[in-house]
Amino acid sequence: MPEDETKNRKLENIKELGSVNLAEGRDNIQILPIIGQIEGHVNLSSETKTTKYEHVIPNLIAIENDKRVEGLLVVLNTVGGDVEAGLAIAEMIRSLSKPTVSLVIGGGHSIGVPLATASDYSFISPSATMIIHPIRMSGMVIGVPQTFEYFNKMQERINEFIVRTSKITGEKLTELMLQTDELLNDMGTILIGKQAVEQGLIDEVGGISQAINKLNEMMAK
């Protein structure tokens, strides 16, 4: 039956893409959850909750191409992950022609920061956190000048995107990134709720109702 097929298709969409539409009658808003760890070119453990870029990217293309979809709500609770994959998703969100709103509900750490700022307007819940730190690399690292030059270029790409898509300055972002007195045996800064707004990373403190209301307001224009 068509009704059963529609139901099964929606369930499969949740399972494979982690993405759902709002209730019947409001299919003009698409929801994109970015949760767990951003998976890159290497498969992570099956025990790790991941957001797979090979699922998200086709979904974003479909959103752009679907005339019924008028807006996108990105919901983030991520520890970060693969830099290339995260930045690719962020650039695609930024390039959508339709209104986009992001909401950080638990954490928007590491590469989750540009994913949060990629939308046209961003919210963070009062207790949510964002960790800003320099990029890291796992696996074998060759101790030559070219390696550190590569690190610098990668960091510049991330910083440029964040500055371009938020109100924070490059100088302030670098200052937060290189703090040495907040994280144990590490560099960086933890921002909680309104602190992210005060630093210019996020537009407003709020929750799901504020995010949806803002998106509806943007779609009505």
Residue 74 sits in a domain whose CATH number is 3.90.226.10
Provide the percentage of residues in the chain whose pLDDT is more than 70: 88
Q: How would residue 137 be classed by pLDDT, with cut points 50, 70 and 90?
A: confident
Does residue 8 or residue 194 have the better pLDDT? Answer: 194
Joined tokens for residue 73: 């709500």
pLDDT at position 23 is 42
DSSP string of 167-198, one letter each residue: S--HHHHHHHHT--SSSTTS--EEEETHHHHH
Q: How far apart are CA 35 and CA 89, in angstroms?
A: 13
What range defines the domain where residue 138 resides? 2-220
- Judge whether residue 52 has pLDDT over 70: yes
Report, as an integer, the average pLDDT of 195-204. Answer: 97
Residue 160's SS3 state is helix
Q: Is 181 left (phi over 0), alpha (psi -120 to 50) or beta?
A: alpha
Q: Which of the residue ranges 86-100, 163-177, 181-195 would you say has the lowest mean pLDDT?
A: 181-195
Q: 73-119, pLDDT tens digit by residue? A: 999 999 999 999 999 999 999 999 999 999 999 999 999 999 999 99
Does residue 210 or residue 40 have the better pLDDT? Answer: 210
Which letter does DSSP use for residue 16 in this model?
Answer: H
- Judge whether residue 135 has pLDDT over 50: yes
Let me know: does 83 contact 203? Beta carbons within 8 Å.
no
Active site residues: 110, 133
pTM: 0.85
pLDDT at position 67 is 92
- Judge whether residue 17 has pLDDT over 90: no
The closest alpha carbon to 127, from 145, 112, 105, belongs to: 105
Q: How far apart are CA 55 and CA 62, in angstroms?
A: 11
Q: How would residue 53 be classed by pLDDT, with cut points 50, 70 and 90?
A: confident
Provide the percentage of residues in the chain whose pLDDT is more than 90: 65
Q: Tell me what percent of the chain is helix, strand and coil, each rounded to the nearest 5.
A: 45, 25, 35
Tally of CA atoms within 13 A in the half-sphere of 154 that contains its CB:
19
Report, as an integer, the average pLDDT of 122-127. Answer: 98
Number of domains in the chain: 1
Helix axes 2-17, 53-65, angle to 10 degrees: 130
Does residue 170 or residue 42 have the better pLDDT? Answer: 170
